[in-house]
Amino acid sequence: MAREKSKGRSPEGESTEAGHRGGTARSSDESPVMGVERRGCVVQGYLMVNQQWEESVSIAKPYEISKKLVWEAWKRIKANKGTSGVDSQTIQDIEGNLKNNLYKVWNRMSSGSYFPPPVRRVEIPKEDGGKRPLGIPTVADRVAQMVVLMLLEPEVEPIFHQDSYGYRPGKSAVDAVETARKRCWSYDWVIDLDIRGFFDNIDHELLMKAVRKHAQCKWMQLYIERWLKAPVQMKDGTLECRDKGTPQGGVISPLLANLFLHYAFDAWMVRTFPGSPFERYADDVVVHCKTMSEAEQVKNAIKSRLAECKLEMHPGKTKIVYCKDGWRKGTYPTVCFDFLGFSFHPRQAINRKGRIFTGFLPAISNKSLKRIGNVVRSWRLRRWIGYDIEDLATALNPVIRGWLNYYGRFYKTRCYKIVKILDFALVNWARKKFRKRGSYRKSTAYILRVKNQRPTLFCHWQLAGASLKG
């Protein structure tokens, strides 16, 4: 971890107010720096910038933050891409004057004068018909957040619970679903836990208490608190101050959310209910219990614990589920739950001996299928009549491959519905492109013929058992 300098201005009394000041604050010793001279070779420019940013800090600053760290943070932000913030600057805009832009971030952070600009509010549709608010930081602010993330993450990762899967290196949503699948065989009951508006209601005081425990550098604490207080710019341009929550969309927000729930939920569960294992992906949680009475007891205790941490269990979405299968034949009102895009409920399957049995198994949920259908319709393939079918395959296969790799991990036959959605869209594209094949039947026959001749052209055509009927 980067160390603080023992000399220089004292960090005591540093302001954490992050009100909008017409942009980020400028250090008194900040001076303009010439951008990289371009000689018709982009690679040369990157090499020059990289070499210059590996130089050691030569000017005394209150906080010792290396230029190399800022450069590494920039490379990660660039790789992650993303949209612009309130300043409308894109990654390409930052690259246009890269050295000067990164210098500003480094100079302001190392001098203690970095104040984050407001985050841009964006709303995306949720599966239940509501809106999910996101807060989009500027590109430069994302670089600053990445600097802190790269130092704080190694400090807190070792203490996180093994069944916390969200936004952690070496863990994934598939790992969480696989663990839940296996535990549903051994535990008859599940608590499908929903925390109401988790990201918007994280208590700043409790979160900063956890941050101070692990972020030893005062400047890290300083900037995290400023990010928490940074206002939100609404669609109409007005600024909304925040006294709680951390915006979804920020680089450091997932780590802060995991840190908060580690103490609010994970560590508490281990102490209080060691016999009730769980899987948590950010604020999406599943808890396993042996009996219904135990599940009710654990649920009530979790409700009280969340209230202590100034959070609320969603009463309408949190439920107790019976893991019914061929061996557990009890009659209860709720025998299914959704987790990370998969729906768990009794399904028929074939064991290794070829015998049919009923298991409590995950498969792609109806909500996920509906979302995929909406995405495919948003492509409006009927407008792609200027493209050949090979061009379509090149453009669409990366997305299709991602869907099949994720949802095809469990109960793959349910993914045949994805095949039908995609092939229906291709038939409509063929009807529009080849007007002589304007009928649905002729267009279907054309797609079927291409599929038989080139079965590897589209990823979903390679799914065993899926077929398009003429």
User: pLDDT by residue (tens digit) across 194-249?
Assistant: 999 999 999 999 999 999 999 989 999 999 999 999 999 998 889 999 899 998 88
Q: Model-level pTM?
A: 0.83
- Is 96 within a domain? yes
Among 347, 362, 377, the domain boundary falls at 362
Percent of the chain at pLDDT exceeding 90: 74
- Is 162 within a domain? yes
- Is 304 within a domain? yes
Residues 180 and 322 in one domain: yes
Residues 340 and 218 in one domain: no
- Is 269 within a domain? no
- Contact, 368 vs 341, CB < 8 A? yes
For residue 29, the model assigns a pLDDT of: 43
Going by the DSSP 8-state scheme, the letter that residue 463 receives in this structure is: S
- Is 17 within a domain? no
Residues 101 and 241 in one domain: yes
What is the Cβ-side half-sphere exposure of residue 456, based on CA atoms within 13 angstroms?
Answer: 0
In this prediction, residues 328-350 reach a mean pLDDT of 95
For residue 27, the model assigns a pLDDT of: 42
Please tell me which residue, 57 or 80, carries the higher pLDDT value: 80
**Four-point Cα dihedral 352, 355, 361, 363, nearest 10:** 90
- Is 266 within a domain? no
State the Cα–Cα distance between residues 238 and 219, nearest whole angstrom.
Answer: 29
Per the prediction, the chain carries an average pLDDT of 87
Find the domain containing 313 and state its range.
173-195+277-362
Residues 332 and 282 in one domain: yes
Query: Strand pairing of 319-322 and 119-125?
Result: unpaired
For residue 354, the model assigns a pLDDT of: 86
Q: Which of 39-43, 413-417, 446-450 is predicted with the least confidence, judged by mean pLDDT?
A: 39-43
pLDDT band at 436 (very low <50, low <70, confident <90, very high): low
Give me the sheet containing 342-350, strands edge to edge.
337-339, 342-350, 356-364
- Is 439 within a domain? yes
Residues 424 and 340 in one domain: no
Residues 234 and 109 in one domain: yes
In this prediction, residues 398-417 reach a mean pLDDT of 95
- Contact, 4 vs 215, CB < 8 A? no
**Sequence-ordered list of residues with C-beta below 8 angstroms from that of 368, at least 6 positions apart, any chain:** 341, 342, 407
- Contact, 425 vs 379, CB < 8 A? yes
pLDDT band at 463 (very low <50, low <70, confident <90, very high): confident
Overall residue count recorded for the chain in this entry: 470
Nearest to 14 by CA among 74, 66, 63, 49: 63
Residues 85 and 116 in one domain: yes
pLDDT band at 292 (very low <50, low <70, confident <90, very high): very high
State the Cα–Cα distance between residues 220 and 152, nearest whole angstrom.
Answer: 8
Residue 2, pLDDT > 80, answer no
- Is 10 within a domain? no
Residues 142 and 125 in one domain: yes
- Contact, 82 vs 91, CB < 8 A? yes
Going by the DSSP 8-state scheme, the letter that residue 264 receives in this structure is: I
Among 321, 341, 362, the domain boundary falls at 362
- Number of independent structural domains in the chain: 3
Among 318, 336, 362, the domain boundary falls at 362
State the Cα–Cα distance between residues 470 and 461, nearest whole angstrom.
Answer: 15
Q: Where are the beta strands (DSSP E) in 94-155?
A: 119-125, 131-136
Residues 356 and 370 in one domain: no
For residue 435, the model assigns a pLDDT of: 77
Nearest to 264 by CA among 289, 283, 287: 283
What is the SS3 assignment for 181? helix
Residues 390 and 328 in one domain: no
Please report where in the chains the tokens 């957040």 appear, as a residue: 145
What is the Cβ-side half-sphere exposure of residue 116, based on CA atoms within 13 angstroms?
Answer: 30
For residue 465, the model assigns a pLDDT of: 57
Residues 236 and 104 in one domain: yes
For residue 36, the model assigns a pLDDT of: 34
Residues 57 and 113 in one domain: yes
State which amino acid sits at residue 312: E
For residue 15, the model assigns a pLDDT of: 52
Classify the C-alpha dihedral 52-53-56-60 as positive or negative: positive
In this prediction, residues 263-284 reach a mean pLDDT of 98
Query: Strand pairing of 119-125 and 232-233?
Result: parallel
For residue 124, the model assigns a pLDDT of: 83
